[in-house]
Structure 1
Amino acid sequence: MEGVVMILLLHWSLSGAQLFILEGGGVVEGGGVVVAASGSDITLPCSLKPHMSAVDMEVKWTRQDLGDKLVHHYKNKQDKTDDQDPSYRGRTSLFKEELQYGKTSLLLKNVQWSDGGQYRCGVQGTGAYDELTINLTVKDIGTPLKISVLSTDVSGGIRLLCETTGWEFEPELLWLGSEEYASLNYGHNGRINVSSNITVQKTETNCCTCVVQQGDQRMKTSINISGVGTHPEIRKEYTDNSGGVHLLCETKGWWPEAELQWLDSRRTELNSGPGQSHGDRVTHRITVYRNDNNTYYCRVKQHPRMETHIDISGQSYNIWKYSTISLIILIVCIVGWKCYRRLSKRA
């Protein structure tokens, strides 16, 4: 029997076939499953052993428990989306830079309850094929914690918001080292959303940590506030003859450097070109015109809740004022010129 196996292996080798098996890492070999929280991003592990390039191979991920529904398909060095199940479009990808090392793991974004089940990783090489089954369990917990910067004040206080959504049962949310209480509200699907605000000052550590827990489930996240700068400010520079209102938005003290964005009243980003850096200060100019919606917003891209707005509806007064003054000056000049001509003729 061993002689037959050796002969087969020799035949495969001479025919150019590359033998491999698929492995899923310690999670799969240990008999466990991949566990994900609803709303999170998760990696389903799958790789070739021995390690060899999978760049020129075909990689197909399917849902084994749903009649091999196509989750992700890679062939001829590109992704094939024509037959991909619509529920997975835009949410899956391979780690292209790792294919050369034989890693064919799948990244699944924004995990949903319906994603739980059996996944099959199938890899077709030159004369060789193997497949691996991985079980994905989606736990009944909310989305990962997110900390946002809401505002800063002149005293150096930084207002932070910690939030998580989609919990079935009420969780406990708190800031480490603080007695701030969380507020609850219910989403459209009846699940619980929880958030908490806190105002902090920069200290030696500059680290703020938020924790949410429910039973034996616990998640936490932190933010370093040492690079938080000032709240953006808008000022009107001038109004030109065409009615254009020239606005300047400014912020300073951010590290990494902040990027400013302009938006209209519908929260649609405006094409305003790049901002400018002046040391630790960032400015961004835009020219806008009066219309049905005269409110404009400027925000820090890295922290979208850090924003301010301006209403330019009163700019019409300046336009008419300058137009009226110009008209009066023109009339005075015409009248004066005519009077001068008449006096010249009499002389």
Structure 2
Amino acid sequence: MSLVCFTVVFVTFLMTGAHCDVTEVFAEAGAPAVLPCKSTNNTPSTIIWTKANKGTVWRKLKSGLQYWGSSWTQKGIQRVQCPHPQFVRGDYSLLINNVQWDDGGLYSCSVEAGGWVAENLVMLRIITVSISPSEPILGRDVSVTCDVTPWPYGASVRWMLNGGPVSSETAVASDGVSSNSIVRKKLAARLSGNWTCVVSYKGKEGRASANLTVRGIIQPPTDNTKVYAAVGSSVTLPCIFSPGLIPSSPAWEKLQPGSLFKPSPSLPLPSFSPSSPSSQNPWDKSTALKEVGLKDVGKYRCSGTIQGQKLTRDMQLVIAKIESSVPSKRKGYVTVTCQLSDDKDVTNYEWVHVSYDVNGTQSFGSIQTGKTLIISLVSEENRGAWVCRFSGKEGILGNITYHVQMMSGLSGQESTGFSHNTAALVGLSLLLLFLLLVVAQMYKNHQRRKRVFPYPALETIVHTIANEREERERNQVKQ
């Protein structure tokens, strides 16, 4: 079919709007599009695809030769093709890769066979979603626009954000007659994500998407985020800006109780204290508390200025501690309770027993649930520590450890230990008594010798008498 004939058909279609059926096809810019064309004749002599005002797109002659329009080549690669294996089924659909904005419009598929001509008209509409500005800053105005070419007058448009419908409070401008649909809003963190424009027209539906990235403070992601820490431990309060977004005048403040705007006059940490200066990125303005105490409980605010606009993020520091008490009626036991300064988000408490071997290797034992735990101080099984692990809807929030102080005597070894100590004490006493007797006897002999040494003759007589006495005693024994 010549270009002149196609133009006549196209003008007739626009004037009457009822003589030809036009198939509607929607495609997202950059994606492939398939323009349908089916015929009952599977042995055509000529197949011609044309586009209004652009002439031939693709054609195949009876000889088998193929031709492409000059504007359908991109970097030496043909963007259009008509899969030959489908011809035997009478399917002559046209595939357009990487559709562009100006590809939208009316197409004609002409199938000639034996002097018989079948024609199909297809309207290709290209949908694009754009965001302005392309990298919006938190708190600034942002516009999300849905454009369709050619625009389907009378079409309905709806918006979706991250797979769900956009709330009614978000301003949406679309009357089905305008050439686009626009969402205008002051940028907030909840607006980040995948924006999808859904266009419905004559029973067909098309959609296109764009990702909206909010630039500003990305950690914590929202205000009033809770940070959990145990008494005596260190904690980092996060304040991280989007990569490459370096704030001026970064600062930290502690808010007064009951106030979201007035900073505390007595600040427990410097206005800005990097948590790890040596390895920190310039857009990471987190701060650290080396040793958390109960006085640190409360709300904190980090801030920084980006392009003349001050950005802030509030967070709450929740402190965990363990309270212990000794039951009056159960000696050798201790009751421990896991306490948090704010436990509204806690849904579950678990106590995990942690023990250590001679090499210091850590192992985990039994797990008990509940906020309170009763521990036996004379049981060998409780040696080590108990970790209170508290969780919320999004998983584990934090933990705190209680180290068990065992009693001096263990229940299974108390009597045995006592008997061993008693035997050792008795044996040591007998040994000391024997040594004292030996020393006393030696001292007595020494004193006797001192008395007789000045009289040698007397000493001889004494020895002689002693010898004779011993001789008589031996003889009496023999008899």
TM-score category of the 2 structures, normalised to the smaller one: 0.3 to 0.5
Structure with greater contact order relative to length (CA < 8 Å, sep ≥ 6): 1
Larger Rg: 2
TM-score (normalised: structure 2): 0.25
